[in-house]
Amino acid sequence: MTVTTTISWRLNSTAFRPLDSNSPLPLRPPFQVLIEFEEMTGDVVGSNSGKHRHPLHEIAESATHKLLLKQWIKEEDLVARRVALRESRVDAVRREIAALYCGFFVFHSLVLLLLYSASASSPSAACRRSWIPCLCSLLCSMAIVWAVRYKTDTECVLERLLEREREDGVLLGKCVEELKRKGAEFDLLKEVDALRRAKSLGVEGKVRKWSARDVATMVLLLLSCVALGLTRFVLCD
């Protein structure tokens, strides 16, 4: 509500007097007029501020909302740290897998070169004992294939956990933003139950029947068979 009052005043040494007044009015000191004006404007500002309060002020006055906000912010920070840790672990596992691939090819290349040089000096003896390097090559190939498969499964598990951690971080961020935006109007039971349901739905992981990791394992097995055949060919031909 806006009230507009226009009054003309004449400044005296002791008080204010209306210009268009025919009868004398009781004089009031200037500081009393200012005090009444400040009280009136203060009441108006106070009523307006009470109507339009910031949501953070409402959260600060509510112990439950304030505790929930602190807990969610702390949990959001912990989730971010766990995400960074899992990302570093995934990168480390991928480097180990790459090292196993390189070791597989380097090992068989060196073995074939050594067997070729050994068979050149005494081909008959090398052919009779060809089962020994073939067996060693097969065992080493199976060990490398098993190690690669184990590391790829570990990478799959870590990626799944990393995806869940990221989803939890996104959900927590949305809840924190909603709480900051709504303030005291934030429904604790409804929103917290929605967060729990979203987390429970995220627990169900998608199982793939066929993936690129299975293809890599099959390729390594085929290459192991090829290396075994080349070993036999180098020693006996």
Q: Are residues 101 and 210 in the same domain?
A: yes
Q: Are residues 124 and 188 in the same domain?
A: yes
Range of the domain at 181: 86-236
**Residue range 22-56, pLDDT digits in tens:** 444 444 444 443 344 344 444 433 444 445 566 66
Residue 71 maps to a domain: no
Residue 44 maps to a domain: yes
Residue 205 maps to a domain: yes
Domain count, the chain: 2
Q: Which of 22-31, 56-65, 74-83, 112-121 has the lowest mean pLDDT?
A: 22-31
Q: Are residues 98 and 171 in the same domain?
A: yes
Could you give the CA distance from residue 39 to residue 28 in angstroms, rounded to a whole number?
A: 16
CB 44: neighbour CB atoms within 10 A? 13
What secondary structure letter does DSSP report for 9?
E
Give the containing element (helix H, strand E) for 147: helix 131-182
Q: Are residues 113 and 215 in the same domain?
A: yes
Which residues, 6+ apart, have CB-to-CB distance to 50 below 8 Å?
none
Between 116 and 19, where is the model more confident?
116
Residue 69 maps to a domain: no
Residue 57 maps to a domain: no
Which residues, 6+ apart, have CB-to-CB distance to 62 below 8 Å?
184
Q: Are residues 133 and 31 in the same domain?
A: no
